[in-house]
Amino acid sequence: MAHEISGIPFQYICKIIPELDENGMPKECMPQSDYKNKSNIHLHEYGKGPFCRFKVPDICNKNSGVYVILVDGVSKYVGECESLRRRFNIGYGNISPRNCYKGGQQTNCRINTLILETYKNKSRIELLFYETEDRVDIERTLINKLNPEWNMTKGKLSRERLPQNVIKCGQFTNKKRRGSMSKYDRFEQYLRNSEKQIETLSYDDIEKILGFKLPSSAYVHQPWWANGGGHSQANSWLNAGWEVVSVDLGKSITFRKV
């Protein structure tokens, strides 16, 4: 069953339901006491618990992509993963003792606690998933667009996109570091050299300029062509002094000099 969010066809995976006791109430657990070195470090701010346990179907074993947690139909959390099953069954859904203490995975504890509290409030919790190789870019785009309540950051840039940004005061800017390269530099140079005010380029035109094929998300997701968001493809035209003004998915893109 497809569930479209911002033009992206997410697959419905399951309801998230904690393990329940004989009275139908979530079984609460406190794994902190099982950590042998707890005398040397302190619990972090989300490590006090209580926590719950839950699982997603085993069919999600090797799927990488972007997931969305819905609460009563509202997008509450957007994330990316290399394996949906591992992220939920080993991460969020089964809190390890070590993760409750400073230096552990705070996000696992925080999301688990939110799911437990939300379920106890009798809200419907559902998991959606979109399988994609461009999971980091799509995650960041959706977080910036949806501003989900449970997300505490704006997502991260993929490793191939980091060199063209300056990290300052914990935020990304569009300025390039001296001597850094982006795989979209050839497109930036093309636009810098253009004497036109408007350029309508087919996908084939753009790929010939770049020397490689655009990712599949560029063909089917309009947010890939958004102006801004810290993505290297957007920086290529923004740094050249251009912006995208219209998108005909799979066919052509129109740029305007600003």
How far apart CA 49 and CA 12 sit, in angstroms, is 29
**Can you tell me the mean pLDDT for 179-201?**
83
Does pLDDT of 220 surpass 60? yes
Better pLDDT: 142 or 104: 142
**187: alpha, beta or left, given left = phi > 0 and alpha = psi -120 to 50?**
alpha
Q: What's the pLDDT score for residue 170?
A: 32
pLDDT at 136: 87
| Angle of the 232-239 helix axis to the 185-193 helix axis, nearest 10 | 20
Q: How far is CA 8 from CA 32, 33, 35, 142, 253, in A?
A: 39, 43, 41, 10, 19
**pLDDT value of position 173:** 35
Split at pLDDT 50, 70, 90, the class of 80 is very high
Residue of 38 and 176 predicted with greater confidence: 38
CATH of domain 2-156: 3.40.1440.40
Rounded CA-CA distance 51/32 in Å is 10
Q: Is 124 helix (H, G, I), strand (E, B) or coil?
A: coil
Domain ranges within the chain, ordered by starting residue: 2-156, 175-257
Contact between 127 and 67 (Cβ < 8 Å)? yes
Residue 236, token pair as written in the block: 């290529």
Residue with the larger pLDDT of the pair 54 and 258: 54
- For residue 210, the model assigns a pLDDT of 92
Considering only 36-45, 129-138, 230-239, which range has the smallest mean pLDDT? 36-45
Contact criterion met (CB below 8 Å) for 257 and 241: yes
137 pLDDT higher than 90? no
Mean of pLDDT values over 126-144: 90
Question: In this structure, what DSSP letter does residue 8 have?
Answer: E
H/E stretch holding 127: strand 125-131
Q: How many CB atoms lie within 10 A of CB 243?
A: 15
